[in-house]
Structures are given as C-alpha cells and as structure tokens.
C-alpha cells in the first residue's frame, strides 16, 4: 500500500486478508476497507465505486487496473504467494 494509506490505517506496507472465493479486486478492496474503515473512499470513490485515477492495481507483473472488478485475480494472489500491489502514480509536486 502507498505510504499515505499505511499512515492512515496505522499498518505496514503489506497486509494479509482472508477473502472467500472468488477472490476478485472488488472482494479484496472490500475486505481491506472492512479491516481498515478509515481507508473507505481513498482507493475507490465513495459514490461511483470507481478506482481513483491516480491509483493502479498491479500483480504478477501485470497491470490489473482496467480488469473488471469482479474478474478473478491470478491464482498466485488468491493463494497468498504473490501480493496485490496498490500503487500511487508517480506524479505531483
């Protein structure tokens, strides 16, 4: 997770979540927000549910940002052997 989200959630750069199958982007972010409610609205817009434009989802050397939110994540992510990365755009001043 980006540094600012870690600071808000008072957690480290990596968190482990138990997610019931099917493990999708939506299910993972839902679980993250349930564990850390202070992150609600920071990754996805409260109203539209859309990913914030300066954030991307990477996993297994793939950009999953534009995958459907209900598509299954790679097996390596759902099994916990590879992380799902929430990346903030390198931008701004």
3-state helix, strand, coil in the chain (%, to 5): 25, 15, 55
Alpha helix locations (H) across 1-93? 3-9, 25-35, 75-78
In the complex, the smallest distance separating the C-beta of residue 27 from another protein, rounded to whole angstroms, is: 14
Selected from 17, 43, 60, 85, the binder of another protein by CB under 8 A is 43
Q: What mask, x for binding another protein by CB under 8 A, covers residues 48 to 87? A: ----x-xx--------------------------------
- In 3-state terms, what secondary structure has residue 59? strand
Give how far Cα 37 sits from Cα of 3, 61, 64, Å. 17, 28, 23
In the complex, the smallest distance separating the C-beta of residue 5 from another protein, rounded to whole angstroms, is: 7
Binding positions for another protein, rule: CB under 8 A = 2-5, 8, 10, 33-35, 37-43, 45-47, 52, 54-55, 88-89, 91-92
């Amino acid at each position: 997770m980006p540094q600012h989200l870690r600071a808000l959630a008072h957690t480290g750069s990596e968190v482990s979540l138990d997610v019931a199958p099917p493990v999708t982007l939506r299910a993972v972010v839902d679980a993250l927000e349930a564990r850390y409610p202070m992150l609600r609205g920071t990754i996805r817009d409260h109203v539209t549910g859309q990913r914030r434009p300066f954030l991307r989802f990477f996993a297994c050397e793939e950009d999953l940002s534009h995958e459907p939110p209900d598509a299954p994540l790679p097996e390596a992510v759902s099994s916990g052997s590879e992380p799902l990365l929430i990346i903030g755009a390198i931008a701004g001043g």
